[in-house]
Chain A
Amino acid sequence: MSKQLHILLITSNQSDIDRLSVLCVNYDWIIESSKNSFQAIQKIKDTPSYNFLIIDHEVGPLTSIQLLDYLSMELNLNMPAVLITEKEVHGDLNNEEPFFIINKPITEKDIMNIVSFVNESSENLKKGAKPYSLNYLKQLSDNNTAFILESLQIFKDSVYTKLNELKQAVKNLEFKTAREIAHNIKPSFEMLENDHCRVLCDKICYQAKDEEISALAEKLNQEYLNIIDELKKEFPKLN
């Protein structure tokens, strides 16, 4: 099974969005889209955890290269990027950069190549990355250690309980309840700045069909366990 990837597709071309959605149906990808490069910058600022970008080379107002330059220079983000283009791209691309270029229309084979490319280029970037951040709790409390530890304990206990309720709701085919539970716990993940879980909660709440909720709930549970494992390394006193 492929690992889950969170992708931002930047294109004004709806057929590209539709085509990619169809092609990657067998991959564990979460795809969001932006219609232009300004909107993309805002999304990336709001959600810095995208694994990679897929950019239409003809996107505007900033071109794909200007966009990547901006991300690198202004936001210090060197994200792997796949450029999709209808014509040959020359010159302005530096081979040292984490680019991968494919020609439209995107094919099944391209998707497999993208997976290999992203796995390779994101490996180093992801090394050492934690599935949580304490920045929000620190900012809220002026770095109050007792508050942070107490909040983490609440996170561990309350989300555990809710995830069990979610499992039960799915088992009982109570999908409205399942959606409400995902809605309830979403801010808990947001407070630890885990964007992957935010997206999973949103999917359960607003996008998933009933029959898709079980798999999404399982992913959410796995990510929760991952967060707790990592938290325990940093905070061994967490019960």
Chain B
Amino acid sequence: MKKKILIIEDNPMIVKSLEFKLTKDGYQVVVAQDGRKALKILETDAFQLVITDLMLPFINGIELIEHIKNNIPELPVIVLSTSKQEEIIMDAFKMGVNDFITKPFSPNELSLRVKRTIENN
């Protein structure tokens, strides 16, 4: 059975690229464009990994991570960041995120980090 990844990202080009690459790598991908939709999806569906942006509409990435870590602590989280977001990435790590990837991501780096994070959990 394919491992399932929830992508929470509101830039359509990044979403398209992540979907393409992760599907190619053999994962099942579900996309939420904002934090509110992501929470709804997480209530009803189980995932092996969440990949989330930090600046999201309605509920920001940090709030979303807090919710995940409080309610589904076993679910690993990879943060998508842009350069110049060092402080907010540090905040995310303090909350227990597993890894981060800088946008636009390197395809091979994405594959490796996703594989490693899922395997380690």
A residues sitting closer than 8 Å to B (CB atoms) are: 136-137, 139-141, 144, 147, 150-151, 154-155, 157-158, 180, 183-188, 190-191, 202, 205-206
Contact = CB atoms under 8 A, between A and B. Distances in A.
A4 B4 CA distance: 46
Nearest to A191: B104
Interface in B1-37: 10-14, 16-17, 20-21
A190 B104 contact: yes
B82 interface: yes
Given A140-B20, A205-B84, A206-B84, A158 B103 contact: no
A147 B20 CA distance: 8
Contacts of A188: 11, 13-14
Contacts of B17: 137, 140, 151, 191
Contacts, number: 49
B103 A140 contact: no
A184 B84 contact: no
B55 interface: yes
A154 B104 contact: no
Nearest to A136: B104
B107 interface: yes
A40 to B, nearest CB: 18
A176 to B, nearest CB: 11
Nearest to A185: B11
A202 B11 CA distance: 16
A206 B55 CA distance: 15
A150 B82 CA distance: 23
A154 B20 contact: no
A183 B10 CA distance: 11
Contacts of B82: 183, 186-187
Contacts of A191: 13-14, 17, 104
